[in-house]
């Protein structure tokens, strides 16, 4: 894992589908000169309802393809995979592996540490998929960082289809978000982590509704942005920034199925037009 890497090699990013594009977008903002190969396993999406054993098998296949393409580091842009497979992939692969859970938890702990002087309870709220919440990944990650804070997780499965349908505002998403936020606000959380990479597209509305329900501002932690910051820190520490700082890095998009439907929605996640999406086959994990 500490092996010296080729600075010009791309970063590998994978997810079960579209959501990880928010991580790719954050990486392109934080590290505009880095090239990225993004893999969406659209043939087997979603991962959030699969068993841990199945998710690990899928993750191995995704990781293997990206490693074969010569990436210098692997970013798991999926909370479900990050919850169950990060340590295994780190042990099996001869390159750095970064997930989205640890950076999100770290940012939440840092944000909450700045609020502990208040009289509010020291609680972190997490919105995530059923699989991520059931894994207990965020409470474990928070506990490893600090024993001072509680972590309250709430599954919010309807937010993913809302995002993919482009329902980012209006009465329906407001009602759905309120339903998921109410238990967290009742638990008096002081910070909310978006524990699914789809959710950043709803971040403004989530922040608005959390403030309305709580009667105060509630900091919202975007785990995609937190992950991009962690990758930037790692690249700086290893001194493997691309040498050509004037050229913007490339973004190659790969999927395992339905490239046209992926392309049609991907621009919403990336905030930019998508030129091409290529189909690849994964070897059995």
Looking up tokens 């091409």, which residue turns up?
A: 276
pLDDT value at 4 more than 90: no
171 or 5, which is more confident: 171
pLDDT value at 205 more than 90: yes
Separation of alpha carbons 193 and 223, rounded Å? 7
Average pLDDT over residues 166-188: 97
| Active-site residue, 62 included | no
User: Token pair for residue 121?
Assistant: 């309870």
Which of 153, 177, 185, 196 is the catalytic position?
A: 196
Amino acid 118: pLDDT: 55
pLDDT value at 131 more than 70: yes
pLDDT value at 99 more than 90: yes
Domains of the chain: 11-99+225-279 (3.40.50.1860), 101-223 (3.40.50.1860)
Q: Do 265 and 14 touch, CB atoms closer than 8 A?
A: no
pLDDT value at 195 more than 50: yes
* Nearest of 224, 284, 279, 230 to residue 256 by alpha carbon: 279
Which of 11, 78, 151, 214 is the catalytic position?
A: 78
User: Token pair for residue 224?
Assistant: 């995609």
Amino acid 214: pLDDT: 97
Per-residue CA distances from 123 to 104, 115, 179, 184, 205 (Å): 15, 10, 19, 9, 21
Share the mean pLDDT of the chain.
92
Residue 200 DSSP label: G
| Active-site residue, 78 included | yes
Amino acid 273: pLDDT: 84
Separation of alpha carbons 137 and 10, rounded Å? 28
Q: H helices within the chain, ranges in order?
A: 21-30, 52-68, 79-84, 86-92, 101-113, 130-135, 137-145, 159-164, 171-186, 203-214, 223-238, 259-270
Separation of alpha carbons 167 and 147, rounded Å? 38
Separation of CA 77 from chain center: 4
Counting Cα atoms < 13 Å in the Cβ hemisphere of 141 gives 31
SS3 15: strand
pLDDT digits (tens, 9 = 90+) for 29-52: 999 999 999 999 999 988 877 888
pLDDT digits (tens, 9 = 90+) for 209-253: 999 999 999 999 999 999 999 999 999 998 888 866 668 899 999
């Amino acid at each position: 894992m500490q092996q010296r890497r080729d600075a010009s090699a791309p970063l590998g990013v994978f997810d079960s589908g579209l959501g990880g594009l928010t991580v790719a977008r954050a990486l392109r903002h934080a590290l505009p000169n880095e090239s990225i190969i993004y893999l969406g396993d659209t043939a087997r999406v979603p991962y959030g309802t699969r068993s841990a054993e199945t998710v690990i098998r899928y993750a191995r296949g995704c990781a293997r393809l990206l490693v074969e393409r010569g990436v210098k580091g692997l970013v798991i842009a999926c909370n479900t995979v990050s919850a169950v497979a990060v340590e295994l992939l780190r042990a099996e692969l001869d390159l750095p592996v970064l997930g989205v859970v640890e950076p999100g938890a770290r940012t939440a702990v840092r944000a909450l540490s700045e609020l502990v002087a208040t009289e509010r309870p020291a609680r972190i709220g997490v919105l995530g998929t059923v699989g991520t919440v059931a894994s207990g990944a965020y409470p474990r990650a928070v506990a490893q960082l600090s024993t001072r804070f509680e972590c309250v997780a709430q599954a919010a499965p309807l937010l993913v289809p809302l995002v993919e349908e482009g329902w980012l505002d209006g009465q329906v998403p407001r009602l759905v978000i309120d339903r998921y936020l109410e238990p967290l606000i009742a638990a008096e959380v002081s910070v909310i982590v978006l524990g699914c990479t789809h959710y950043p597209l709803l971040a403004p509305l989530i922040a608005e509704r959390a403030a309305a329900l709580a009667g105060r501002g509630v900091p919202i932690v975007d785990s995609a942005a937190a992950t991009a910051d962690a990758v930037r820190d790692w690249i700086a520490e290893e001194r493997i920034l691309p040498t050509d700082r004037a050229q913007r890095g490339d973004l190659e998009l790969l999927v395992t199925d339905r490239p046209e439907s992926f392309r049609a929605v991907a621009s919403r996640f990336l905030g930019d037009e998508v030129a091409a999406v290529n189909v690849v086959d994964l070897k059995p994990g």
